[in-house]
Structure 1
Amino acid sequence: MSTATSTRFKRDILQDDTTAEVTAILQDNLTNLIDLALLMKQAHWNVVGPNFRSVHLQLDEIIETVRNGSDEVAERIVTLGVTADGRVSTVAADSKLDDYPAGFVKTSETITRVADSLKHVIESLRSAIERLGELDAISEDLLIALSGDLEKHLWMVQAQEA
């Protein structure tokens, strides 16, 4: 995980030690969310096979949710007085997601890979939600809302595996 740089606002929202813990949890999830958006775009560009168009368009919907969510998480980190780190080097070093293959990927494999990546991010968000419960209800609520949106996308993606 990257080292966070903090600023001293005149009016801190949380205690210093709580701020550090909350922003570290949020940063871990920010890294995964940025990587998920990139992974989804790679899948979007290179999916081939039956139902190509519907999967291609569905991936754009997921990307929009993930990008909006990552922006909200980053802005929450900054609201708490710590810099958010979305640099490529940080994402490459710290993301917990599996790499996405180069080249064209058939729709069935794309669906499986996307579902697996969504599930991994959701598990990370749910773990963070549990940890944030005692620390910061606002950050917890932010991740609850995002997790709910991603869980709906996961349902819609994995329903295509049946």
Structure 2
Amino acid sequence: MKASKTLSTTLQSVLVDLIELNIQGKQAHWNVVGKNFRDLHLQLDEIVAAARVFADEVAERMRALHALPDGRSTTVAASTSLEQYPGGLVDTKDVAKLVVARLEGTVATMRTVHDEVDEEDPTTADILHAVIAKLEQFAWMVDAENLSPTANVTEPAAAKAGPGKTSAATAK
């Protein structure tokens, strides 16, 4: 099969966002500071590694369809849909928000083109499905950094009674 001009253009838009996600993820990784630094720093490495693999997979699929991927820095900078990542040191809370926005932006690009891709090449659409699922999982995990719990957990009755004592509930 040979990709149409539309499919080539569509996959190119996905490719540049994945490359940009990789680059911005590394920028975030190098410059994150604050509470839970180490956890987020390591999680960013996972995201960067996945984005790099996904970009390679999309580019290689493009070549399999006789399309020409363009991952040059000038092309990526000129055509990515992702906002520029800020320079300097960034607090973990802000990094989480920024990275989630980039993950969701990359997914949005894929969801926007999905039906068109699926119509021309279901195999390529399957690749997009897998990438979307993983990026949405990353977004959920990073977003959890800034969420507040909603459960009202109380101490179990046995714990309230203390060691060697029984509560009314455990004495029965």
Q: How many residues align?
A: 147
C-alpha separation in 1, matches of 2:28 and 2:55: 19
What does residue 34 of structure 1 align with? 19
Higher Cα radius of gyration:
2
Aligned equivalent of 2:55, options 67, 70, 91: 70
What does residue 33 of structure 2 align with? 48
**1:117 paired to 2:102:** yes
Q: Which amino acid aligns with 1:58?
A: Q
Identity value in percent: 41
Q: CA deviation at 1:21?
A: 1.4
C-alpha separation in 2, matches of 1:54 and 1:130: 36
Gaps of 5+ in 1: 1-12
Larger RCO (CA under 8 A, 6+ residues apart): 1
After the TM superposition, which segments of 4 or more aligned residues of structure 1 sit over 3 Å from their partners? none
Q: Which amino acid aligns with 1:101?
A: P
Aligned equivalent of 2:10, options 15, 21, 25: 25
Q: CA deviation at 1:161?
A: 1.4
C-alpha separation in 2, matches of 1:73 and 1:128: 14
Q: CA deviation at 1:54?
A: 0.2
Aligned equivalent of 1:61, options 24, 34, 46: 46
Gaps of 5+ in 2: 148-172
> Please, what TM-score do these two structures have when normalized by structure 2?
0.83
Q: Deviations over 1:19-64 (max 9, x none)?
A: 2211111001101110110000000000000000000000000111
What does residue 86 of structure 2 align with? 101
C-alpha separation in 2, matches of 1:57 and 1:90: 29
How large is the Cα RMSD of the aligned pairs? 0.9
**1:126 paired to 2:88:** no
What does residue 146 of structure 2 align with? 161
Q: Which amino acid aligns with 2:66?
A: G
C-alpha separation in 1, matches of 2:130 and 2:4: 21
C-alpha separation in 1, matches of 2:123 and 2:18: 19
What does residue 150 of structure 2 align with? none
What does residue 8 of structure 1 align with? none
**SS of the residue aligned with 1:150?**
helix
**SS of the residue aligned with 1:134?**
helix
Q: CA deviation at 1:87?
A: 0.1
